[in-house]
Amino acid sequence: MIDAALFDWDGTLLDSRSALLGAWHAATQEVLARRWPTNAQEEELVFTLPGSQLFPRVAGDAGAAERLRDGFQRAYETTGEQVRAFPGVADMLAELRGAGLRIGVITSKARQRYDLDARRIGLAERIDLAVCQEDTRAHKPDPAPVRYALEALGVAADRAVFAGDTPVDVAAGTGAGTPVIGVAWGAAGARPLLDAGASVVARDARELTQILLKRG
């Protein structure tokens, strides 16, 4: 039996791929006079590392990193209009809350951008807690953000489940002691999630809802 369902944000509840890549392309072109990311390996970093790590890594020095961060935020104000909840997600959250489960989001995204997303897609009121980049020193795959969420919700690890779309999510959840459900519609696909230790992989939000309600 579980009391809480925890979710990754980008790639799990939120389809933000075009918005994020568009903001990176615009900001790097503006600040660095070059376009980044340019290949699949670099794109993977966008969906697995927080901006606090990526901005200095891509920019190369602290001053350029700060300008890149600011440019990215400006670009995301526009590209973020493209974000959408994945099909069935709003209904899933409503059904889980109706069944008495607490809902948490664990993201490496800055809170400013998370709040913008949540308002735009109308999910803010269906989420009890969001753990964002600023809330913990360590980020996924470190389990610290998951542990932070569990403590904030007052839920033991074995009374929660974490769902995510990358092996980074699986590592964070299992490291915190929660079972992890993979979602096949995000960045990684089913096989890498199972190989990383996900207990099961859901094909769509309806199937994920059914899995969670059986555990709840």
* pLDDT level of residue 1 (50, 70, 90 thresholds): confident
Task: Look at residue 216 in the predicted model and tell me its pLDDT.
Answer: 64
Name the percent of the chain lying above pLDDT 70.
100
* Residue 56 predicted with pLDDT over 90: yes
How confident is the model over 60-92, as pLDDT tens digits?
Answer: 999 999 999 999 999 999 999 999 999 999 999
pTM (predicted TM-score): 0.93
CA 61 to chain centre: 27
Partners of 130 in the β-ladder:
105
AA identity, residue 146: V
Rg of the chain over Cα atoms, rounded to whole angstroms, equals 17
Question: For 62-181, where are the alpha helices, taking DSSP H only?
Answer: 62-79, 89-98, 111-121, 144-153, 167-176
pLDDT digits (tens, 9 = 90+) for 125-154: 999 999 999 999 999 999 999 999 999 999
Bridge partners (DSSP) of residue 48 are: none
Phi/psi of residue 10, each to 5°? -65, 125
Quote the CA–CA distance of 120 and 186 in Å, as a whole number.
20
pLDDT at 22 over 90: yes
pLDDT of residue 188: 86
CATH 3.30.70.260 is held by the domain 4-15+84-215: no
Helix (H, G, I), strand (E, B) or coil at 38: coil
* Per-residue pLDDT tens over the stretch 164-176: 999 999 999 999 9
What are the residue boundaries of the structural domains of the chain, listed by start? Answer: 4-15+84-215, 17-82
Q: What is the mean pLDDT of the chain?
A: 96
Q: Are strands 14-15 and 84-85 parallel, antiparallel or unpaired?
A: antiparallel
